[in-house]
Amino acid sequence: MNASVDRKTVAKALAGFVVAGVVLYLFGRVIGWAEITRTLRDANFAWVAAACGSSLLCLLVWSKSWDVILHLLDVHIPWRSLVPTYLAATFADYVTPFGKAGGSPFIAYILSADDRANYQESLAGVVTADLLNLLPFFTFAGVGFVALLVQNRVPQNARGLIVGLAVLAVAMPLIIYLSYRRRDFVEGLVVKVVGPIARRTERIDAEKIRDRVDGFYDRIDIIGGNPRVMVHTLVYAFVGWVLFAAPLYLSARSLGITIDPLIVLFIVPASTLAGVTPTPGGLGGVEAAIVGLLVALTPLGTGTAAAVALLYRVASYWFVVLVGGVATGYEIYAH
């Protein structure tokens, strides 16, 4: 069964990369590969190296969020041991289409499989840390949007993406809050979904699942009842997001271009909306979104904007996939 699942996962990832390759080829074909490569030849790769370093530091800082939350739940895994697990989780997210879906339960399982932690505690800690790491997404996007609005720099052709980000910024925290406040409804919904399956197999017990959901919320209460830990985690979350956004600025600097940091703070979270495209890491979609936003919000032409986008993705995606792949190999052989 595990081998079958693994084969299916690998097949989906490979199919996603094939689709992404076609999308990226068409992306360059529309803009003009000759112009893009001509621009890239003048790049100062010391800035690109700095961008890669910023991406790695971002992941190390975000993994510290896991460390803080898990320690509160009496899961005492040394941070140096959590780092490769976090990098492996990021690798899994980045190489699988819609990789974020189900990522937290998978990592909680990995942490509990080798007796490093209890599954319920791991899941509550990982989910909470990941949600707190998302908060700057909305904050930075909001700051960037307000800055653009005040400067009257919101073009007509970018309003659809901006509205989408605004809806997401309101809807996502609201859904998270309601799911926390209406835990009885959530428990009932989970049991209702699982119930028909449980009646057909003895391997699934609906009431045990209800108890697990209830235990999950109990651990969330422990975290929510410690504002000092929440603030501590949020500090790492915001620092991590600054480091996550910096590669776009640094990639532009490699081509001798300076982008207003406020625009960077808006473009990076806005472009992640394109990450929902059914390709690994949103390949193709993210690049197209960045080009569209750079052209709309800055004086850059499409060829230069495409070169910036590709360098940014080298630092924020391909480099992370490389490092995460090494960490995944370590996790497989070390545990």
Q: Is the CB of residue 240 less than 8 Å from the CB of residue 58?
A: yes
CB-based burial label for 128 (10 Å; 0-12, 13-18, 19+): buried
CA distance readout (Å), 273 to 121, 168, 169:
30, 9, 11
d(C-alpha 53, C-alpha 47), whole Å: 10
Question: Phi then psi for 256, rounded to 5 degrees?
Answer: 75, 20
pTM comes to 0.77
Query: In this structure, what token pair is assigned to residue 9?
Result: 């996962």
Q: Contact at 8 Å (CB) between 219 and 121?
A: yes
Give the tokens for residue 14.
């490979």
pLDDT in tens, 200-230: 655 555 555 666 666 566 666 666 677 787 7
Q: Which residues form the domain of 182? A: 2-334
DSSP of 78-92? -HHHHHHHHHHHHHH
Residues of the chain with pLDDT under 70: 1-33, 35, 97-121, 124, 152-170, 172-173, 176-177, 180, 186-187, 190-191, 193-224, 273-278, 334-335
- Residue 97's pLDDT is 66
From residue 317, how far is each of 56, 93, 145 by CA, in Å?
11, 11, 25
Place of tokens 């010391």: 46
pLDDT tens across 138-147, in order? 777 777 777 7
Give DSSP secondary structure letters for 157-209. Answer: GGHHHHHHHHHHHHHHHHHHHHHHHTHHHHHHHHHHHHHHHHTT-TT--HHHH
DSSP 299: S
- ∠ CA 101-215-204, rounded to 5°: 65
* 105/223 Cα distance (integer angstroms): 18
Matching residue, tokens 């299916």: 8
Mean pLDDT of the residues in the chain: 75
Going by C-alpha positions, the residue among 71, 75, 68, 105 that lies closest to residue 89 is 105
DSSP helix/strand/coil, 258: coil
Q: 268 with 140: CB under 8 angstroms?
A: yes
If one counts the domains in the chain, the total is: 1
Amino acid at 147: A
* 325: amino acid identity, one letter: G
